[in-house]
Structure 1
Amino acid sequence: MKSLLVCFTIASDRQPRNTAFMSALIETRALTRMDERRQVPLLQPTDFSLKRADRVSITGTSGSGKSVFLRALALLDAPSSGQVLWNGQPISNAQIPHYRSHISYLSQRPALIDGTVEDNLRFPFSLKTLRQRHFEPAAVIALLGHAGKSPDFLAKNAGDLSGGEAQVMSLIRTLQLNPEVLLLDEPTAALDPASSREVEALIDAWFAADNARAYIWVSHDLDQARRMSDIHLHMSAGVLSGAAQP
């Protein structure tokens, strides 16, 4: 079966046109995912390239393969065949934790630990791969400000947070680590409009702070996809296509 090529280069005022900048952060080569139990393809063989300063949205119906593709990029689910490359190189099993600290996946339903918001934000620094780094209150307070939250938010009990507040906390927990790429799996699907705007504002601020960053936003909301991306792709029956400017 031929692989499906999805590559794009969109000119932008914010990105210098040089070879180093245009090299892909993430590539896939003939990447596939199969439902092994039913022997049904979930993701058709796909070649894909994400470059610095790319803002990509992927839309499609439920079950079309959007989340399957994003989870494969995050190396949360092993591909059935094909490769994921990071900065042009294959990723060994030993490199996966390091990869995930740079290529961050955010799901629709945030995972919380018991304790305060601050406890949750400090938690990543207890992990082996991040023990050389430290929680930075000033950076976190700045992120809270982008979402319209005061420093008092840090003292709230995580169990008392609304869905929108929990997602803002989860996103800040990720953004404080300065990832290169965000893989956003319908992060606002279950949120009210005000909470959705807070999440969007946080991502806009993170993206604007460094033109070497990039993200992929899976959304069921076409208006949001147009608002939050320069490149709009479509997923249908495991086939990724579109490569169009919304």
Structure 2
Amino acid sequence: MTHQNDLSRSRVDATAIAPLIEAQRITRRDAQRGQVLLHPTDFALHAGQRVVLTGPSGSGKSVFLRALALLDPLDGGVLHWHGHAIAHAQIPRYRRHIAYLRQRPALIDGTVEDNLRYPYSLAVYRDAAFDAARAQALFDAAGRGPGFLARATDELSGGEAQIVALVRVLQLDPEALLLDEPTASLDPESARAVETLIAQWFEHERAARATVWVSHDPAQAQRVGERHITMRAGVLEAPASAQADMGALR
């Protein structure tokens, strides 16, 4: 019995220290041209980490983030979530917890509130409900006061649309944010509002959350990240193994 308890405890301990996401030799290719977009890549993201990914345009940063989010099929390798390989049937649930935010968000026609309510119409969120007060509190933190929920999306500026897209994700309580240059096209005020929202979300539950943020702005990279990695021609040019990650947390 003692031996069985020890084995059970070992499994629990292993799960507790497992990365949120661990990529093992993941690859992506252009299906039409056969070009390798992402060379075999190892990467681990632990709870409590804020990672910044930099590199030249066209180097594969977006390809890498979309692969981590399982938005595009992998051509090789495997992703683990909390130490377990992700079965095909688990992908919608995985995407609920590992959220990808792109540079130019897609909003549905209607109001800001319509956009925030939309995710709750999906089967994967059937156990959750829209909370207008919480949504407004997030908008307040971004400097968008009363009445913003009723705004029509076709009247929003680019910065406001990005804030709406971010709040739409944050209200769903993801574990990790994969941020693909979310402020690249924004004015300084809107960019800082986005940074503030993400920082507050992260600090609220730092021990359980993580970010990977693609940025071309060196000053922003210093503000939003503590671990810096680089992508060049589809190759991740920094130690990104689980062992390296654990060392970074000590």
TM-score by length of 1: 0.89
On the 8 A contact 2:15/2:83 being kept in 1, the answer is no
Distance 1:228 1:22 in 2: 24
Show the counterpart of 1:94.
Answer: 89
Show the counterpart of 1:109.
Answer: 104
**Which one has a bigger Cα radius of gyration?**
2
Distance 2:148 2:128 in 1: 23
Listed as ranges, the matches of 1:67-216 within 5 Å are: 67-211=62-206, 212-216=208-212
On the 8 A contact 1:42/1:65 being kept in 2, the answer is yes
User: Of the candidates 11, 23, 36, which is equivalent to residue 28 of structure 1?
Assistant: 23
TM-score by length of 2: 0.88
Measured at CA, do residues 32 and 179 of structure 1 come closer, stay the same or move farther in structure 2, by a change above 3 Å?
same
Distance 2:222 2:32 in 1: 36
On the 8 A contact 1:231/1:243 being kept in 2, the answer is no
Unaligned runs of 5+ in 2: 1-12, 241-247
Q: Tell me how large the CA RMSD over aligned residues is.
A: 1.5
| 1:171 partner amino acid | L
Measured at CA, do residues 73 and 118 of structure 1 come closer, stay the same or move farther in structure 2, by a change above 3 Å?
same
Structure whose residues are more often helix by fraction:
2
CA displacement 1:98-126 (0-9 Å, x = unmatched): 11110100011111111110111111101
Show the counterpart of 1:61.
Answer: 56
On the 8 A contact 1:104/1:183 being kept in 2, the answer is yes
Using the aligned pairs only, state the percent identity: 56
On the 8 A contact 2:26/2:74 being kept in 1, the answer is yes
Unaligned runs of 5+ in 1: 1-17
SS, match of residue 29 in structure 1: strand
Distance 1:225 1:66 in 2: 15
Aligned residues: 228
User: Of the candidates 227, 230, 237, which is equivalent to residue 241 of structure 1?
Assistant: 237
Distance 1:50 1:141 in 2: 30
Distance 2:75 2:52 in 1: 24
Name segments (4+ residues, structure 1) moved above 3 Å: 18-22
Structure whose residues are more often strand by fraction:
1
| 1:106 partner amino acid | L
SS, match of residue 28 in structure 2: strand
| 1:187 partner amino acid | P
On the 8 A contact 1:57/1:232 being kept in 2, the answer is yes
| 2:134 partner amino acid | A
User: Of the candidates 202, 214, 224, which is equivalent to residue 220 of structure 2?
Assistant: 224
Distance 1:51 1:145 in 2: 30
